[in-house]
């Protein structure tokens, strides 16, 4: 049984409205069924529920949502509106297939984040946790898809609109070429939440403990943990590369702190640089660098849209 130190996965899912049981999501959206009576058909659109003959109105639901999410939700809508207006002005459109592909990626990222945050081994483990509250992975993916559908469209519009201003320089392409096709380090890692945990883990490894076993059991980076800590090969010149580039195959690193936690890395091998020429991969490098630049510039771009827009808010908390 999985035991979560902060909040259980089931509680988190329920509290964030990602997960709904079959009782909540009935086949007929406007039908409620009491345990003691026959199904009730709600015909008044201003009523969202009837609880023991007491009506819960749409206005009550609206007030609750405004009180809970009002400011943040309004800001999201304003940013979305500005992006749509800018995209329309620039003649930018997205197709359904593009949105579907983007949405699939967003849903997968959301599921992967759940696996990491709750130290679940894989989707099979997640399925077991969901079953405990009467749901399934398929239902969760469906709920996340509904929640993130508009986000996928908006993100695509932003990406395509910014593409016109994101033009990689030759130096940026050369640097990316070195990172992608230059020498690589093949390694595995264990990521811990605290330095104390990392120090204890490093001592165990230095005493002969099996790296793959510790990674599978203890690492908070579940994507690598399920593979015994195996990482994607990385450049000695980027990320944690400079911290471990001096190590030989089989050697352990000191504890390395990043935004993700405290890492202990074991070097497996050094991979020689690729023989692919810069010219042959330049187009792919351009796409990669543009995507990177887009992520870096998105925040400032949105701030600029907001600062140059006429925005009047009228949010009522009555």
- What structural domains and CATH numbers belong to the chain? 9-163 (no CATH), 183-271 (3.10.50.40)
pLDDT at 30: 42
Give per-residue pLDDT as tens, 121-168.
888 888 888 888 888 999 999 999 998 999 999 999 999 998 878 888
pLDDT at 17: 38
User: Measured between alpha carbons, how far is 70 from 123 in angstroms, rounded to an integer?
Assistant: 34
CA neighbor of 158 nearest in space, from 106, 92, 78, 89 = 92
User: C-alpha angle 95/99/101, rounded to 5°?
Assistant: 115
Instruction: Please state whether the predicted TM-score (pTM) of the whole model is above 0.85.
Output: no
Residues whose CB is less than 8 angstroms from the CB of residue 302 and which lie 6 or more positions away in sequence, other chains included: 79, 82, 83
How many C-beta atoms surround the C-beta of residue 81 within 10 A? Answer: 14
Quick one: three-class SS letters along the chain?
A: CCCCCCCCHHHHHHHCCCCCCCCCCCCCCCEEECCCCCEEECCCCCEEEEECCEEEEHHHHHHHHHHHHHHHHHHHHHHHHHHHHHHHHHCCCCCHHHHHHHHHHHHHHHHHHHHHHCCCCCHHHHHHHHHCCCCCHHHHHHHHHHHHHHHHHHHHHHHHHHHCCCCCCHHHHHHHHHHHHCCEEEEEEEEECCHHHHHHHHHHHHCCCCHHHHHHHHCCCHHHHCCCCECCCECCCCCCHHHHCCCCCCCECCCEEECCEEEEEEEEEEECCCCCCHHHHHHHHHHHHHHHHHHHHHHHHHHHHHHCCCCCCCCCCC
Exposed/middle/buried for 317, CB within 10 Å: 0-12, 13-18, 19+? exposed
Give per-residue pLDDT as tens, 239-266.
899 999 999 999 999 999 999 999 999 9
pLDDT at 218: 94
pLDDT along the chain (318 residues), means of 10: 40 41 32 55 88 91 88 91 94 94 92 84 87 89 91 92 86 90 94 96 96 95 92 91 94 96 96 92 91 88 93 77
Contact 262, 193 (CB under 8 A): yes
What mean pLDDT is reported for the chain?
A: 85
Contact 133, 10 (CB under 8 A): yes
């Amino acid at each position: 049984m999985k035991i979560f130190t902060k909040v259980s996965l089931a509680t988190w899912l329920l509290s964030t409205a990602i997960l709904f049981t079959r009782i909540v999501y009935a086949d007929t959206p406007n039908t409620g069924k009491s345990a003691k009576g026959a199904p009730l058909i709600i015909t008044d659109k201003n009523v969202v529920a009837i609880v023991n003959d007491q009506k819960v109105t749409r206005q009550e639901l609206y007030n609750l949502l405004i009180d809970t999410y009002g400011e943040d939700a309004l800001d999201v809508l304003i940013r979305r509106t500005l992006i749509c207006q800018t995209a329309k002005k620039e003649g930018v459109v997205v197709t359904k297939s593009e949105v579907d592909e983007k949405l699939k990626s967003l849903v997968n990222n959301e599921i992967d984040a759940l696996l990491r945050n709750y130290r679940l081994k894989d989707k099979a483990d997640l399925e077991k946790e969901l079953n405990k509250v009467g749901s399934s992975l398929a239902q969760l993916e469906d709920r996340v898809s509904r929640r993130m559908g508009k986000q996928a469209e908006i993100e695509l519009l932003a990406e395509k609109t910014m593409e016109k201003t994101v033009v990689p320089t030759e130096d940026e392409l050369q640097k990316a070429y070195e990172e992608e096709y230059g020498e690589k380090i093949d390694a595995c890692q264990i990521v811990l939440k605290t330095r104390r945990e990392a120090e204890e883990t490093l001592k165990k490894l230095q005493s002969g403990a099996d790296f793959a076993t510790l990674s599978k059991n203890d690492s908070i980076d579940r994507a690598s943990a399920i593979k015994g800590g195996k990482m994607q090969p990385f450049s000695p010149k980027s990320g944690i590369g400079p911290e471990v580039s001096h190590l030989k195959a089989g050697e352990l690193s000191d504890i390395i702190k990043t935004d993700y936690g405290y890492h202990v890395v074991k070097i497996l091998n050094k991979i020689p640089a690729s023989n692919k020429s810069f010219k042959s991969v330049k187009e792919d490098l351009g796409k990669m660098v543009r995507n990177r630049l887009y992520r870096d510039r998105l925040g400032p771009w949105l701030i600029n849209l907001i600062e140059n827009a006429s925005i009047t808010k009228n949010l009522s908390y009555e």
